[in-house]
A and B are shown apart, each in its own frame.
Chain A
Amino acid sequence: EVQLVESGGGLVQPGGSLRLSCVASGFNFRSYSMNWVRQAPGKGLEWVSHIYSDSTFTYYADSVKGRFTISRDNAKKSLYLQMNSLRAEDTALYYCARLAGSDPDNFDHWGQGTLVTVSS
């Protein structure tokens, strides 16, 4: 069974930093591209970042470019999101999502999310 378990969320002051983690199990992690998607309270889904299976390419939403860094450790089956210079508008539930393997244009598995709250 595919499982994605996020952690690392919490309360942080504006301008602060946080590192999110997502541990994968039940599939060959090193073969799949991974993404972070967030959802502000009561709002819709917003894509955050994408990383290739071998880390050769990364992409970011304009809203986080220059502040967030996505990375992965295939040996540890883990995905990360380093978030710096956090703003109130970054408050959201952050999901780790797997990009489908055979048809890499959709997210076929999602974690339960980790909540990030940016507030003084």
Chain B
Amino acid sequence: DQQVKQNSPSLSVQEGRISILNCDYTNSMFDYFLWYKKYPAEGPTFLISISSIKDKNEDGRFTVFLNKSAKHLSLHIVPSQPGDSAVYFCAATADASGTSYGKLTFGQGTILTVHP
């Protein structure tokens, strides 16, 4: 049972345009969400996160939006750069449960390719 889903295995965008990566979740207990990006032969790198008490969080070119009623979050990258080409993972955790120590539930990832 896949509790976090990234339905688009890949996304291709032109440099300078917006990249939108989507993620859906099913577990109502999830209250903290993170995005990681991964380059080949490296571990995932933390990008940005959002708590369920917010609906938006920005950090430079990266913005994450959370729609709790739809159990949907998205990552916007504006403007996209070739160096952003990587695999992007959405992850979720039930932080308030007090028992989620170290446990993130990951989506399957979306391969983003930004063309010059």
Do chains A and B stick together as partners? no
Which residues of chain A have a CB within 8 Å of any CB of chain B?
none
Which residues of chain B have a CB within 8 Å of any CB of chain A?
none
